[in-house]
Structure 1
Amino acid sequence: MPPRPDAPRRTRVVAGIDEAGLGPLLGPLTLGYAALRVPAGAQTLWERLEEAVSDNPRDGAERLVVNDSKRVFSRTASGRARLETTALCFASLAHGAPPADGAALLGAGPAGLQPDAGELERHPWYGRLPARLPMWTDAGRLELRAERLRRAALRSGVEVCACAARVVPVGELNRSWRRTGNKSSTVWYHVADILRALWEAHGDEDLSVVVDRQGGRTHYAAQLLRAFPQAEFRALAETSVCALYRLESREQRRSMLVWFCERAELRSFPTALASCAAKYAREVCMGAFNRYFEDLQPGLRPTAGYTSDGRRWIRDAVGALKLAGLPREVLIRER
């Protein structure tokens, strides 16, 4: 039996959304999202899970590191392993087991947040996603770390409900930019999809979501009203640093607080975890991209896809690009 509307809640769901790869020239945009069911109270999730989790990258040998992915990840063996271990351990708790391969990683979320199969086929390097995960850390060690996290979560009353990423390939991005005219509108389109999925899954659980704010937008009322036309709406705060809104459907007994904050991944555990999920998904996809083109041109130096190195890669990859015969719109971003 559901609790009475006026009954005090013993748990609530906290969630976060963050992106990776908005600025590069090559490779997908990824939007990470995470949701955790937590006991009511003032403790942060870093405090609740401290026996298994830290926000300090120096603790990565012993504990999972949840922080802004720029602090968690580096292009070293330890930096890659640190990011992968965090992303896959939390995904394991959310889904019962870590994704077994790259395709499972991209398909880990609800159907509406998975990339379209036909869209992926237009980008043939997605056929070179890793056949097995993890890539950068030992599977046995990953299992031990996940079990340690599971025990810490059980003892603290925390349940990981979601930890995944929405992958948006370049061709889809370019079409969206032509339609919307700018990056921020395209990002919002996908953020709104994630917010709707969270509303459907957890809107009856005192849901709050912290979204990392990108660009100069400080007001989101109009966007939220269009995304949730059935909900009652209140703007609680709109400042240069953070905007806060409340959505409520009394008929459905659903409500959601939504924050849009600068550097949200430094303030919110779920948003920091979402940052790690987004970055890991992008790195896995860029690995597939580099493998595909190196198969066509052995010795081709890989790229992370960012603007200056992306341009270098395009110059270097003339032979591979000629062999691939792909339209520019699925390879290079227009914005």
Structure 2
Amino acid sequence: MNPTTPRPNANSAPPGRSRPEWDAQPFVRYVGIDEAGYGPNLGPLTMAAAIFDFAADYAHAQGWDGRSTPPPFNLWSASAGRVTRAGGPEHALWIDDSKSLYSTRRGRDRLDAALLTLLTDSAAWSQPSLVLEDQLAAVGLTDLVLNELDLWNWHVPETSTTTPAPPSALSSARSPLTNPFWKAQRNGVSPLDHPGRWQVRPPRAALLGPRRFEAWLHAPLESPREHAASFSSSHRLKRDTLPPQTKADVHCRLFMNLLTQVWNDSPADLTIAQCDLHGGRRYYLKPLTDAFGAFCRVEVIEESPDARSYRLTATDALGLASKSPRRLVISFRAKADRDDAAVALASVVAKSLREGWMDRFNAFWIAHLPTLRPTAGYPLDARRFRDQIAPLAERLGLEPAVWWRSR
């Protein structure tokens, strides 16, 4: 890997926010990663990375020096009331784990407000798009087929006895946000930014719909289309291609793909990543070594009940680190989405994108079966939904493998 040159990505989103004044000075990139949709049988597994660039002196003062387990990023105490946890002052931006921000009873207004604040250039503050495709593009997911939205924009064949909704019904934006924070005057300054200390960067995301989820379980080799989009230059990290056998393996592979992209795109000498614990996994040395060992030295910083932390140091072709090597320190903690603001924001992005995808999925089926209740996709209700749509899916030629996750 080249330790000094940023790694552009062909599918990257536009920069969005302006670069900070201290961008030419040493800084530390701080990343929170979380997922949504690991458990459901319907809908995608989404994963997101919230990204902050910290001035090096501030980062080191927080203990983010790359030598020890980094403490969580407490944006709440550092933002002087502009950002609070769920249930805080109405005119503040609520940042918390997505389950605290959103439930079917409370609606999605606060969840979407956090996502759109993260996607909005602080110098603009115009109403960002609530159209799913625009939001996906903003986090680097521009391919309709890989996002598996192509299926849910289909027209019903003329021989069908059902009447589809017009295409506009499946692609229109949601209503504008109405919560007090979003309606308040923001004076052109994002509450997520802190000039001189840090600036938020456009988030990145990965989405694995049912079709590709099943393919990764049973025939996990990448298609030519995916392979062409992978990191193929000799100096870049290669994505893991080991055949997964379980749902946990699929989750791990998607995580390593996103982590690879985030580190490849980081221009900082030190990148810090905080993550929640992965389901079914206690330690991470082996999967990190499998994914990065050919290009990095992987070391254990800590493996305790509180945290599992590792340091990855880029090496040259001879396996030697340069005088100023690029480093990645990654820490896994239980409930990280509650304790670390970057992980909480990643949770928000992943959940909001998944909910938008499920809106489109539900709209497709309800357009054909108007009495059908929408589903969130979790196991008990997913079986009810599956039984109700199965006859229609057969008539439309939609095999279960393209809409049902077996694990």
TM-score (norm 2): 0.71
Are 1:17 and 2:47 counterparts?
Answer: no
Distance 1:93 1:271, change over 3 A: farther
Question: Does 126-135 or 267-276 show the bigger shift?
Answer: 126-135
Q: Larger C-alpha radius of gyration, 1 or 2?
A: 2
Is 1:225 the equivalent of 2:289?
A: yes
SS of residue in 2 equivalent to 1:33: strand
Letter in 2 for 1:167: L
Q: Which residue of 1 is the match for residue 202 of structure 2?
A: 162
CA contact (8 A) 2:29 2:52 kept: yes
Aligned to 1:5: none
Q: Give 1:234 deviation, angstroms.
A: 1.2
Three-state SS of the structure 1 residue aligned to 2:52 is: strand
Aligned twin of 2:161: none
Q: Does 1:306 align with 2:375?
A: no
Could you tell me how far apart the structure 1 residues matched to 2:123 and 2:204 are? 10
In structure 1, how many angstroms separate the alpha carbons of the residues matched to 2:122 and 2:266? 14
Q: 2:48 & 2:278 partners in 1: Cα distance?
A: 14
Q: RMSD of the alignment, in Å?
A: 3.0
SS of structure 2 residue aligned to 1:118: coil
Q: How many residues align?
A: 323
The answer to whether structure 1 residue 125 and structure 2 residue 149 are counterparts is no
Aligned-partner Cα distance in 1 for 2:174–2:197: 27
Q: What is the rounded CA distance, in whole Å, between the counterparts of 1:201 and 1:145 in structure 2?
A: 34
Structure 2, unpaired ranges of 5+: 5-24, 63-72, 155-166, 221-243, 315-320
**2:139 maps to 1:109:** yes
In structure 2, the CA distance between the partners of 1:51 and 1:148, relative to structure 1 (3 Å rule), is farther
Cα shift at 1:306: 0.7
Structure showing the higher helix proportion among its residues: 1
**Distance in 2, Cα, partners of 1:246 & 1:143:** 43
TM-score if structure 1 supplies the norm length? 0.85
Counterpart residue identity of residue 197, structure 2? G
Aligned to 2:98: 69
The match for 1:245 is: 310
Residue aligned with 1:58, SS:
coil
Task: Identify the match of residue 36 of structure 1 among 52, 58, 77.
Answer: 52
Q: Quick one: structure 1 residues 191 and 146, their matched pair in 2 at CA, closer, same or farther if it must change by over 3 Å?
A: farther
Matched to 1:169, the amino acid is G
TM-superposed CA distance for 1:239, in Å, is 2.3
* Partner amino acid, structure 1, of 2:399: P
Shift of 1:146: 6.5
What letter is aligned with 1:30?
Answer: T
Within-5 A mapping of 1:190-269: 190-202=254-266, 204-228=268-292, 229-249=294-314, 250-251=321-322, 253-269=325-341
**Could you report, residue by residue, the CA deviation over 1:256-285 in whole angstroms, capped at 9, with x for unpaired residues?**
100122211122111111001010011000
Structure 2 Cα separation of the partners of residues 213 and 147 of structure 1: 38
Which deviates more, 269-278 or 67-76?
67-76
Tell me the alpha carbon deviations over residues 33-52 of structure 1, each in whole angstroms, 9 at most, x when there is no partner: 10111241337322222432
Task: Supply the distance in 2 between the matched residues of 1:91 and 1:126 (Cα, whole angstroms).
Answer: 25
Q: Deviations over 1:228-277 (max 9, x none)?
A: 22112211111244210011124473111001222111221111110010
The Cα of 1:140 is off from its aligned counterpart by 11
**1:89 aligned to which of 96, 113, 117:** 117
* C-alpha displacement of 1:74: 1.3
Q: How many Å separate the matches in 1 of 2:212 and 2:330?
A: 27
- How far residue 158 of structure 1 moved from its aligned partner, in angstroms, is 2.3
Shift of 1:154: 4.0
- Report if the CA contact (8 A) 1:115-1:166 is conserved: no
Is residue 58 of structure 1 aligned with residue 98 of structure 2? no
Mean Cα deviation higher: 292-301 or 101-110: 101-110
Q: Retained in 1: the 8 A contact 2:302–2:309?
A: yes
Contact 1:126/1:289 (<8 A) preserved: no
Q: CA deviation at 1:210?
A: 0.7
Deviations, residues 277-334 of structure 1 (Å, cap 9, x unaligned): 0100110001001111111111211111111111111223345424432011011111
Alpha-carbon distance in 2 for matches of 1:145, 1:245: 43
Task: Quickly say closer, same or farther: Cα 1:278–1:322, change in 2 above 3 A.
Answer: same
**1:16 alignment partner AA:** G
The superposition leaves residues 161-197 of structure 1 with CA deviations (integer Å, 9 ceiling, x where unpaired) of 1324322110100111224111111111111111112
